[in-house]
Structure 1
Amino acid sequence: MLNYKRTTLRKVPDIKKRNAYMVGGGIASLAAAVFLIRDAKMPGENIYIFEKTPVNGGCLDGSGDPENGYLLRGGRMFEEHYEATWDLLGSIPSLDDSDKTILDEVVEFNEEYVGSSKCRLVGTPGKKVDFTKYGLTIRHLNELNELLLTPEDQLGGITIEQWFSPSFFKTNFWYFWATMFAFQPWHSVMEMRRYMLRFMHLVPGMNKIEGVLRTPYNQYDSMILPIQKWLQDRGVNFIMGTKVVDVEIEEIDGKKYVTKLHTTGQKEGIIEVKPKDLVFITIGSMVENSTYGDFEHPPVLNRGEGDIWRLWRNLVKKDPSLGNPDVFASEIDKTKWESFTITFRGEEFLKMLEEFTGNKTGTGGLVTFKDSSWLMSIVAFRQPHFRNQPDDVTVIWGYGLFVDKKGDYIKKPMSQCTGKEIFLELLYHLGWLDKKDELLGTVINVRTAMMPYITSQFMPRHPGDRPPVIPENYGNLALLGQFVEVPGECVFTVEYSVKSAMMGVYGLLDLSREPPEAYKPYKRIDVLIKAVETLVDDEEKGMLKRSLNLFLFG
């Protein structure tokens, strides 16, 4: 971890006279603020972060209490080669021990809690499935091989289900892949190819969730809170309850500049932006318009446009080169799914889960119910998963990919179910319905989150639909987040957002430092051989080795 070598930075003589404006309080903006202070030496009081909600962190959330139950919309997974993320976290002190950084905490935590699932798939209710084999045939392997050999720019608009034969979606490989990364058959095969290349070194452990790293607590408590404190201690201005609704752009001496920001909310008005000031806008959002349910109530889907998407569309009206938001945010029924967080009194459920899976809590990763019509998965994190979580309270998290299908026990779509009904459906797939009264008595709450845009970044796209971090011919604007183009990296990762921030800061200020390149495991022969040995049967290895040699050496 942290193999990224920093180089000497160019000094920016007038940096103390410049201001920086961040639109959105997610990890991309927070990271950009850190890089501005740490690397460009901008005073913290010159940085303004506008966030429309009362809480920073964006997708990296975690909230609730032991009385009403906890809530996570999701949880990000990490891996060894997230160099931009580790570079960021290696600069921020721990909230618990000022002699340690967040990176130190992550390293120590993952040395103690080494993930290796003993129960990755469950089939017939209560019956574990053999998940040692990936189940790919020669035809599937040829399809995968052809995908790797096809240049990305030739895959625009093609879906995964258009590329692969129908039987591919019944393989263990697909169940591992779809539930680990949240891909759907109608998502972009271009994006799947990028994942295959970027994470090829994880293929041998994909069936056991090996090689995946996690933070000690949820990402809000482990990452956002200490980063926010670091920024507050340096005078950064957090403008909460305020959204930027429009941006004015003018051409000055042949270059385009943001000249004004229009805001509403707690701070309403127009902010004048000078040509040497910097503007960072997080475009799009995976968690925009999230709605919530609980034990007795289902969440109500919000089909509205959303402020963040509206801002991006306003930008594109002014300059069509700034991407194509409609590609990602126009088919909610293909981009939504629902997650749930179950809060328990005591450890009874977790102890039963440990006995069922064979994994100590915090070491197993996702358990997927492959025959679930919702394609439900759950994960039991190390406890406590929240900073304010008492010893006698435990939590698990889960989600379903097919929220509009009727359940196998509860004959309703997941999207229409209460938290109690989702819990009963889970008990059915675990084979524990005979203990439902006893286990229901331990439940404090089941809080649910419906997210209309949660996989919008995976929708089929063409080159150019994602704009560059620094748009061509712009002097003071950088676009951040999951909907910009970060070469070689994979969306739906913290690394993607953090690297976009690094690219924006270093590029706008010409700091003479390059962000770390995306890891290229496919360039390593040992990684290719291990991937082959994992995916194919013995008699097929020679054939695929020859194909992968062709991919590697042309």
Structure 2
Amino acid sequence: TNGSITESTTYGDNEHSAPATHPIGASWKLWEKLAAQDSAFGHPAKFYQDIPAANWVMSATCTFKDDRIVPYIQKITGKDPYSGSIVTSGPVSIRDSNWLLGISISRQPHFQQQKPNELIVWLYGLFSDQPGNYIHKKITDCSGAEICQEFLYHIGVPENQIAEIAQTANSIPIHMPYITSYFMPRQAGDRPLVVPEGSSNLAFIGNFAETERDTVFTTEYSVRTAMEAVYRLLDVDRGIPEVFDSAFDLRTILSALYYLNDKKSLTELPLNQIEKIGLNAFLKKVHGTYLEEILKSQKLL
């Protein structure tokens, strides 16, 4: 496995920030040594060096015991965090956060050892070069309690309660220097092929190996590259599951449009007069056609 986004991770605590200094990780050193022998093994420097200042290197876990935050989470998500269902159904971005703070709350309890009165929130900041709105420091310089305070401020907790609630929580800041590496600009050849040309006993697996059409940052990518490596090197006559071409599936695109617009149909969208005229003309044109059936099946009509 060449490269790693969690290599060299450091941790802080309620009172201390996570150290930003770190040695180069072993997986990156290994890839560098391989790449020095043959250009077919890729260019690791593209991924772990010169990472931009506005990056995602910081996240944190906050374990709350104070139920005063529950109504604020419930107002944002529409769910009781103790209901037993997934609370945020994925990450939620706070658009007016200088850090572009994101929150994700999984089904509670999330861990087997978690106590009934504990609520665990995962936070991350995508802009680590900007001062916070409440804590006027970069997220990389903040202790766990300070990151927690910034989160409480953005979800609407009264300022006279923020410090007290944050102090009773257990917040762990996490510095991951290579978490942005998957998303660095690259070109063909920067990642090695899973099985380099002419190789009979060496393969690369994971998100820094090149395979067709798949998207990085997924477990599926790692599994698919491992299948490709094993099947090709051991001459196993078995097919690798194809990547679903959602970008070319009209139904998937229309369904995404429905959910991106907060589950509104086309006629419920906030359109101006010219856009409404255009939409009405379009709907008349597709009336009675298969396209109208697809729009209805994806809840846009």
Q: Which residue of 2 aligns with 1:359?
A: 79
Once residues 531 and 394 of structure 1 are traced to their aligned partners in structure 2, the CA distance between those partners, rounded to angstroms, is: 30
SS in structure 1 of the partner of residue 194 of structure 2: coil
Note if 1:325 corresponds to 2:51.
no
Q: Which residue of 2 aligns with 1:7?
A: none
Q: How does 1:62-81 map to 2 (within 5 A)?
A: none
Once residues 506 and 455 of structure 1 are traced to their aligned partners in structure 2, the CA distance between those partners, rounded to angstroms, is: 30
Q: How does 1:200-215 map to 2 (within 5 A)?
A: none
Q: Which residue of 2 aligns with 1:84?
A: none
Q: Which residue of 2 aligns with 1:502?
A: 227
Quote how far apart the aligned CAs of 1:434 are. 3.0
Quote how far apart the aligned CAs of 1:413 are. 0.8
**What are the ranges of 5 or more consecutive residues in structure 2 without an aligned counterpart?**
283-290, 292-301
Note if 1:464 corresponds to 2:184.
no
Q: Which residue of 1 aligns with 2:165?
A: 439
What amino acid maps onto 1:454 in structure 2?
Answer: I
Give the conservation status (yes or no) of the 8 Å contact 1:303–1:332. Answer: no
Choose between structure 1 and 2: higher strand proportion.
Answer: 1
Q: Which residue of 1 aligns with 2:14?
A: 295
Deviations 1:311-346 (A, max 9, x none): 101001112111110111112345542001001225
Q: 1:473 aligned to 177, 182, 198, which one?
A: 198
**What are the ranges of 5 or more consecutive residues in structure 1 without an aligned counterpart?**
1-281, 543-548, 550-554
What amino acid maps onto 1:363 in structure 2?
Answer: V
Note if 1:370 corresponds to 2:95.
yes
Normalising by structure 1, we get a TM-score of 0.45
Q: Give the superposed CA RMSD.
A: 2.6
Q: Which residue of 2 aligns with 1:350?
A: 70
Give the conservation status (yes or no) of the 8 Å contact 1:333–1:452. Answer: no
CA 1:441–1:285: 2 relative to 1, 3 Å: closer
Quote how far apart the aligned CAs of 1:531 are. 5.0
Q: 2:110 aligned to 376, 379, 385, which one?
A: 385
CA 1:524–1:353: 2 relative to 1, 3 Å: closer
> Percent identity of the aligned residues?
39
Note if 1:400 corresponds to 2:125.
yes
Quote how far apart the aligned CAs of 1:529 are. 4.2
Q: Of the two structures, which has the highest relative contact order with CA contacts closer than 8 Å and spacing of 6 or more?
A: 1
Q: Which residue of 1 aligns with 2:2?
A: 283
What amino acid maps onto 2:161 in structure 1?
Answer: K
CA 1:314–1:294: 2 relative to 1, 3 Å: same
Give the conservation status (yes or no) of the 8 Å contact 1:290–1:302. Answer: no
Q: 2:218 aligned to 493, 513, 517, which one?
A: 493
Q: Which residue of 1 aligns with 2:242?
A: 517
Once residues 366 and 531 of structure 1 are traced to their aligned partners in structure 2, the CA distance between those partners, rounded to angstroms, is: 16
Q: 2:178 aligned to 446, 450, 453, which one?
A: 453
Deviations 1:46-65 (A, max 9, x none): xxxxxxxxxxxxxxxxxxxx
What amino acid maps onto 1:316 in structure 2?
Answer: A
Quote how far apart the aligned CAs of 1:528 are. 4.0
Deviations 1:407-453 (A, max 9, x none): 1111111110111111111122122123225523541x110101111
- The number of residues matched between the two structures is 264
Note if 1:423 corresponds to 2:186.
no
Quote how far apart the aligned CAs of 1:520 are. 1.0
Once residues 283 and 354 of structure 1 are traced to their aligned partners in structure 2, the CA distance between those partners, rounded to angstroms, is: 41
Quote how far apart the aligned CAs of 1:402 are. 0.8
Give the conservation status (yes or no) of the 8 Å contact 1:289–1:302. Answer: no
CA 1:440–1:514: 2 relative to 1, 3 Å: same
CA 1:381–1:351: 2 relative to 1, 3 Å: farther
